[in-house]
Amino acid sequence: ARVAAVVPAAGKGSRMGAKKAKQFMELAGKPLLSHTVSVLKRVAEIAEIIVVVPPGGEESAIKDCLLPFDLQSKCHVVPGGAERQDSVKNGLLKARELGADYVLIHDGARPLATPELFRKVYQKTLLHGAAIAAVPCFDTVKKAGENNLVETTLDRSRLWLVQTPQGFELDFLLEIIQKACDQGYYATDEAGLLEWAGKEVKLVPGERDNFKITTPEDLRLAQCIKGGLLLTRIG
């Protein structure tokens, strides 16, 4: 089977509160997005990598994030859309054009996933048609009512915090995403679209390090992790 990765990286990063969108900010000496792409390049099963960037930012993404780190082979850069789902749809259309059968979608803002996680999610996608990385919820989760008053405690044993990669049969996901976009239904992840269509999705144990860089605190934590890895290698 032919596998493509789609990397949505067309967001504004408003919760980061920086001038530059977070995927282009520096992490341990290179743009955050370059880290994400370089992990994907270590997954031999992935034939094509489609990076979705803010419209008009295609050239600068190639010049700043791919070329300086020799990451350009296998990579295609396409413009995104207003919502993450629109960006993913553009990436999926490119994946179809490139002849992919399966797609692994991975947030540009998750630079710390390992190649092994992509392989695990891909294997489960082959078995189940759709599989997503997620970690069990270790904290107690409460639902609030009015004025931040606790309404109830959720059953933690069945709660999972969802990450990417998320793997799908390409034609199947494209059909559902087209329908959802046409009907104005927007989900926060692609698995949400399959749930909307009544399809099964398999949970695959993810990695706690594979958190999404959302706030300055996340970026600092990622800097620490990257710095630590570097020291281990030197030592």
Nearest-angstrom CA–CA distance, 3 and 122: 9
Question: Is residue 6 near ligand CTP by the rule CB under 6 A?
Answer: no
Contact residues for 13 (Cβ-Cβ < 8 A; gap 6+): 20, 21, 22, 23, 25, 109
Nearest-angstrom CA–CA distance, 87 and 101: 19
Question: Is residue 8 near ligand CTP by the rule CB under 6 A?
Answer: yes
Nearest-angstrom CA–CA distance, 23 and 4: 20
Q: What is the CA radius of gyration of the chain?
A: 18
Distance in Å, CB of 158 to ligand CTP, minimum: 25
Question: C-alpha 151: how far from its chain's center?
Answer: 32
Per CB under 6 A, the segment of 38-46, 80-88, 139-147, 201-209 that binds ligand CTP is 80-88
Question: Which residues in the 129-148 window bind ligand CTP by CB under 6 A?
Answer: none
Question: Which residues in the 48-77 window bind ligand CTP by CB under 6 A?
Answer: 52
From 212, 216, 218, 221, residue interacting with ligand CTP (rule: CB under 6 A): 212
From 39, 40, 49, 87, residue interacting with ligand CTP (rule: CB under 6 A): 87
Question: Is residue 14 near ligand CTP by the rule CB under 6 A?
Answer: yes
Question: Is residue 20 near ligand CTP by the rule CB under 6 A?
Answer: no
Q: Which of 94, 93, 99, 82 is nearest to 175 (CA)?
A: 93
**Binding stretches for ligand CTP (CB under 6 A):** 8-15, 23, 52, 80-84, 87, 107-109, 212, 214
